[in-house]
Amino acid sequence: MDTASVIEVIIKSAILLLVMTGGFAYLTLYERKVLARLQVRIGPNRAGPLGILQPIADAIKLIFKEELIPASAHKFIFILAPVITVLPALVITAVIPWGGTVNLFGRQVHLEVADINVGVLYITAVASIAVYGITLAGWSSNNKYAMLGGLRASAQMISYELGLGLAFISPIIIAGSMRVTDIIQAQADLGIIKWLLLQPLAPIIFLVASIAEVNRAPFDMPEAEQELTAGYHTEYSGMKFALFFMAEYIKMIAVSAIAATLFFGGYLGPFVDRWPGLGPVYLLIKIVILLFWMIWIRATIPRIRYDRLMAFGWKVLLPVGLLSVFLSAVLVLVFNVGVPFTPGG
Amino acid sequence: MLKEFARGLWTTFRSMFEKPVTVQYPEVKRPVRTRFKGRHTLKRYPDGLEKCIGCSLCAAACPADAIFVESAENTDEARYSPGERYASTYEINMLRCIYCGYCEDACPTEAIVLGDNYELSFTDRAQAIYTKEMLLESVPEPSQTTPRKVEPGIFTRSIPVMQDPHD
């Protein structure tokens, strides 16, 4: 790797981090606005025109809040936990391509931070790390509500990641690769309709399980207000609380980006071959639509009971996930599409 | 189950296109209900004299002990209200007041009335005490201010003659 490539990767990472954190700020506003409209309200409209300065006002407020650390908390882990939660959410998007290859300053730049050959595996692996942060936050707070919230988060994560992981397998089977760019290429070759017909269940499983993955309503058991006050972040205040918030919202963006990339064509769209600059725009549009889906679900469905959530995860999502894998494998064999798997190749 | 799910989603989606119920408060103010009990006002007769005769029945009726009244003698040289006495001091502590309206019920001259103003805010406790000057409504005409010099022998009744007993 020459110096120019290193600089290129650093610049791309910086852009990605800035986009994700900026996206987090404006996702809070987007959610509040959309949620308000779904509930026949107006939503924030005081800070700046149409409330566009609201996230900045919130950030300033949170920065100036007092940071409390409970006397009996485990201080080191208590401070570390929000960091463990927020970092995977940021790192996970490194393997998501947000465009094809563009020519910038006489250099062929591939619009992706890291094009690794186990991209999908990387996504599942990194996504699971965040739950350590949540569980440790719950444990180190030394508070019964936080503890229960943390335990629920870990139990929920285990039950849902099975379904999520099985949903990932279908695109891998059809594309014959774990590299995310190969999966995008397979979608370009097959066409999006054919791509979805070959895996009819996987996108649905992913959309359901991903809501549980980011701990949002109706699967927000770790922070069920009525039972657990605020769940794992009961004892957190100020910027440490903001970090948990940030993790949740950045993960929302990341999960939407993953869903868009694996199932809905990623940066592909009309004329993207001719103008590769359109790629990020298409990806953004798809992410915004998928985020709307998450907010819409939150506005519609009440939180389900914990035992039903576990039953749903193990007794419905897991068998359906297995069925989905089976279905995709059979469809690929019957119609003889996709890249044939060669053992050892 | 999926049918209910879709129906719920459709309901929330449809509500996106309804007119928001929000009232943009500082710019748009929703009118209060007819029996709303807001900030008190001390009323005057059409001739400009104060209705309050300083009897302290409101202070006695007040369950929160928010009203303080001190009365003084009227003279025909300096007349505030009909009859013998008037309220020289009338203070309501708005932090204590619970807006029950018992003062209104107790008042024999209908001098104190709970109005429709609910925008009461203070930056310190002393500001919460509303004095007589703040509570008293303005005179109907500029010449009718109190105290004023009147002909002797006119304003002898502190409570006006009841016109209609069924009123």
Residue A339 above 70 pLDDT?
A: no
Question: For residue B119, what are the domain limits?
Answer: 37-138
Query: pLDDT tens, B97-156?
Result: 999 999 999 998 889 999 888 888 889 999 999 999 889 888 888 877 878 888 888 888
- Among candidates A260, A263, A250, A304, which has minimal Cα distance to A285? A260
Q: Which residues does residue B44 pair with via DSSP β-bridges, in sequence order?
A: B50
Q: Who among A40, A41, A296 is closest to B13 (CB)? A: A296
Q: Please count the structural domains in chain B.
A: 1
Q: Do B21 and A37 touch (CB under 8 A)?
A: no
Q: Which of residues 270-309 of A touch B (CB under 8 A)?
A: 296-297, 299-301
Query: pLDDT tens, A114-153?
Result: 778 888 888 888 888 888 888 888 888 888 888 888 888 8
Q: Does B16 touch chain A (CB under 8 A)?
A: yes
Compute the residue count for chain A: 345
Q: What are the φ and ψ backbone dihedral angles of A66, each rounded to 5 degrees?
A: -75, 140
**If you measure CA to CA, which chain B residue comes closest to A33?**
B16
Residues in A touching B24 (Cβ below 8 Å): 42
- Among candidates A67, A73, A75, A194, which has minimal Cα distance to A141? A73
Q: Who among A41, A300, A301 is closest to B21 (CB)? A: A41
- Distance, CA of A244 to CA of A312 (rounded, Å): 26
Query: pLDDT tens, A279-338?
Result: 788 888 889 999 998 889 888 888 888 888 888 888 888 899 899 888 888 888 887 765
* CATH code at position B104: 3.30.70.3270
CA distances from A106 to A102, A103, A293 (A): 10, 6, 40
- Burial (CB < 10 A; 0-12, 13-18, 19+), residue B99, is middle
Residue B60 above 90 pLDDT?
A: yes
- Distance, CA of A77 to CA of A79 (rounded, Å): 5
Q: Band of the pLDDT at A108, cuts 50, 70, 90?
A: confident
Residue A47 above 60 pLDDT?
A: yes
- Distance, CA of A9 to CA of A19 (rounded, Å): 15
Confirm whether B58 is domain-assigned: yes
Tokens of A19: 């986009």
Confirm whether B23 is domain-assigned: no
Of A262-266, B9-13, B113-117, the one with minimum mean pLDDT is: A262-266
**If you measure CA to CA, which chain A residue comes closest to B10?**
A300
Query: pLDDT tens, A3-16?
Result: 877 888 888 888 88
Beta-strand ranges (E) seen in chain A are: 101-104, 107-110
- Among candidates B73, B88, B11, B46, which has minimal Cα distance to A39? B11
Query: pLDDT tens, B33-59?
Result: 988 999 999 998 888 888 899 899 999
ipTM above 0.85, yes or no: no
Residue B65: per-residue pLDDT:
92
